[in-house]
A and B are shown apart, each in its own frame.
With several copies, the nearest count.
Chain A
């Protein structure tokens, strides 16, 4: 990215272009400044750390959503997967040692994502509908496995995870570090690795990709599987924060994740989007909720304001395409 930025700054009209390309960042900065101005508690370290912790779960699934959206797909199952996988993780943590519980959960997430991946890639099912079906199924399974009640962590492993999830390293919450790590990996993969090149190519012209010898199906399959694995990661994090796995978790998170990705400038037609901007999208959404809470705006007017800000943020982005 550094390279891109430099070369753009040096070209004529470069700064303007830079502002336009990374305008999500500027919307974010705008919001931060605004928030700091109207609430004197906003800029406290505890609030910022809360904010980071609050967005990490949705943030991680947003990265999965991003890579799915880059291929021109969509993954509605992630919210339900978080619930199901949180339940599975809570069950596992109570019966096997921590590392096994973590790895197994992630593997199961990968496999669950593979189900959508298989339907989309090899059965040519519309992603919306394949993942909608998985969303329904996963939520159902979550309730079945948990018998409808949250499953509490009971082992030292569980305690360790709870500590981990609520503590910080150098002032940054551990789970936020994981989230940011995932963002960085994604950004690097998307930008500097063949994997990113290929999924972006698939999203911008699937037929041309096929005829260029790309194993389109394999990659389409993979992105859903990865999205599933990331949902598992998010599930582990949110379950650890509350010390339990509940089938009610992740309700409608898929919508927030999609909104974050789109606010981050990605196109739902595929082929366009970046991990850094998705991070900004996640932060913007989280910030809106946080600042409205701090300002004591009641819940329902909050929804109205949130919707309006989403519209506003996306409208600002239109300049990018010019």
Chain B
């Protein structure tokens, strides 16, 4: 899969965009197992469904297992997938180090492992990593923000998912890097003023409460940056309630959830978000697995979907009201 191809269908469409991959061998009866770290976020749900659709479209059997947000339970879930004798394992690891063991176990059983969405320690036994470029996406958003503000003073509130989440961490790094790089480039100094970080548990209600308290404690906040759209979608209610939609600009480092895109199209306070398409990742992952079945072995260690920033200019293109995510 080359990069150009992967950018083509970066839309989280509800329509069945999964396509049949060309395959020399008969795929019927091949079993693809996918292990998600949890299903406690719409994003994971969308990713699971995208993989399922692609797998079935290609006449294969889909098997899934859920880590239930617990490293040990995810290990158990992967072990059970291996026991079931899947022919390829798509693993979305909750922790980059903890799941190394099971990749080796899978390799021992002759099962190729494709790491998707999140990263894993390089010492793991895997074919390739398929993920959106969280760092680059974050950077794009950060850059956009720094450009927008120029030398105007930013008072930032950072809305995070939950502490210790590696994906969130990467996106945060991207955002901050983007801001500082851009400031250095254009201003020659860094003025990064993050007033508070609040955790939202990746939920609407969590974001709402976090934002309410943040606004009371720091009435001068004029920027909200976030590791994911989901963290800020609830928070918007708090901002509206406080009558601050004109004073605050929201910048999300990821996901391109449809509600967020809608805000970007319709309002001025939701500045941008970056595309992290579960549909695309799912499709690519299945495609890679099929290629592997057909004998291909020279995969790059990491295959990113292309970074993509969604702003008012291009939002309409990526908005699909019927999308799952």
Give the interface of A toward B (CB within 8 A): 39, 41, 44, 46-47, 50, 53-54, 57, 143, 146-150, 152, 162, 166, 238, 241-244, 246-253, 289-290, 293-296, 298-300, 302
Q: B203 on the interface (CB 8 Å rule)? A: yes
Which of these, B45, B64, B216, contacts A41 with CB under 8 Å? B216
- Interface 9-mer from B92-100, B136-144, B295-303, B307-315: B92-100
What 0/1 pattern do residues 140 to 158 of B give for CB contact below 8 A with A?
0000000000000000000
Tell me which residues across on chain B come within 8 A of A238, comparing CB atoms.
71-72, 205
Tell me which residues across on chain A come within 8 A of B83, comparing CB atoms.
41, 44, 46-47, 50, 294
Contacts A41-B84, A44-B83, A244-B98 given; does A294 touch B39 at CB 8 Å: no
Contacts A41-B83, A243-B101, A299-B68 given; does A248 touch B40 at CB 8 Å: yes
Q: Are the CB atoms of B210 and A293 closer together than 8 Å? A: yes
Tell me which residues across on chain B come within 8 A of A143, comparing CB atoms.
39, 45, 163-164
Contacts A293-B80, A294-B217 given; does A249 touch B163 at CB 8 Å: no
Give chain B nearest CB distance to A282 CB in angstroms: 13
Q: Are the CB atoms of B203 and A248 closer together than 8 Å? A: yes
Residue in A closest to B211 when the chains form the complex, CB atoms: A50
Residue in A closest to B234 when the chains form the complex, CB atoms: A242
Interchain Cβ contacts under 8 Å between A and B, 12 examples: A39-B217, A41-B85, A47-B216, A149-B166, A162-B101, A246-B205, A248-B164, A251-B203, A293-B84, A296-B196, A298-B64, A298-B66
Contacts A50-B80, A54-B212, A148-B163 given; does A249 touch B199 at CB 8 Å: no
Q: B44 on the interface (CB 8 Å rule)? A: yes
Which of these, B46, B100, B197, contacts A298 with CB under 8 Å? B197
Tell me which residues across on chain B come within 8 A of A44, comparing CB atoms.
83, 216
Q: B42 on the interface (CB 8 Å rule)? A: yes
Contacts A246-B164, A290-B213 given; does A299 touch B98 at CB 8 Å: no
Q: B27 on the interface (CB 8 Å rule)? A: no
Which of these, A50, A152, A244, A289, contacts B216 with CB under 8 Å? A50
Count of chain B residues with Cβ under 8 Å from any Cβ of A? 65
What 0/1 pattern do residues 42 to 57 of B give for CB contact below 8 A with A?
1011101100000000
Which of these, B216, B219, B325, contacts A149 with CB under 8 Å? B325
Give complex CA distance A289, B78 in Å.
12
Give complex CA distance A147, B52 in Å.
14
Give complex CA distance A312, B185 in Å.
52
What 0/1 pattern do residues 175 to 190 of B give for CB contact below 8 A with A?
0000000000000000
Query: Closest 10 A-B residue pairs measured CB to CB?
Result: A148-B45, A299-B66, A148-B164, A293-B213, A293-B80, A242-B98, A149-B42, A54-B76, A50-B212, A148-B163
Give the interface of B toward A (CB within 8 A): 36, 39-42, 44-46, 48-49, 63-66, 68-72, 75-77, 79-81, 83-85, 94-95, 97-101, 163-164, 166, 169, 196-199, 201-205, 208-210, 212-214, 216-217, 219, 234, 237-238, 241-242, 259, 324-325
Q: Are the CB atoms of B204 and A150 closer together than 8 Å? A: yes
Q: Are the CB atoms of B95 and A246 closer together than 8 Å? A: yes
Chain B CB within 10 Å — which of A149, A252, A298 has the most? A149
Give complex CA distance A30, B101 in Å.
32
Residue in A closest to B166 when the chains form the complex, CB atoms: A149
Give complex CA distance A247, B204 in Å.
11
Residue in A closest to B105 when the chains form the complex, CB atoms: A166
Tell me which residues across on chain B come within 8 A of A302, comparing CB atoms.
66
Give chain A nearest CB distance to B203 CB in angstroms: 5
Contacts A44-B216, A249-B71 given; does A293 touch B241 at CB 8 Å: no
Q: Are the CB atoms of B199 and A149 closer together than 8 Å? A: no
Chain B CB within 10 Å — which of A46, A246, A251 has the most? A246
Tell me which residues across on chain B come within 8 A of A289, comparing CB atoms.
76, 209, 213
Residue in B closest to A152 when the chains form the complex, CB atoms: B97
Q: Are the CB atoms of A244 and B97 closer together than 8 Å? A: yes
Q: A147-B49, A252-B70, A289-B213 are in contact. List 16 more A-B contacts (CB 8 A).
A: A41-B83, A50-B80, A50-B83, A143-B45, A147-B45, A148-B46, A149-B169, A238-B205, A242-B71, A243-B98, A244-B95, A248-B203, A251-B201, A293-B81, A296-B196, A298-B66
Residue in B closest to A299 when the chains form the complex, CB atoms: B66
Q: Are the CB atoms of A242 and B237 closer together than 8 Å? A: yes
Tell me which residues across on chain A come within 8 A of B64, comparing CB atoms.
296, 298-299
Give complex CA distance A242, B121 in Å.
12
Tell me which residues across on chain A come within 8 A of B70, comparing CB atoms.
248-253
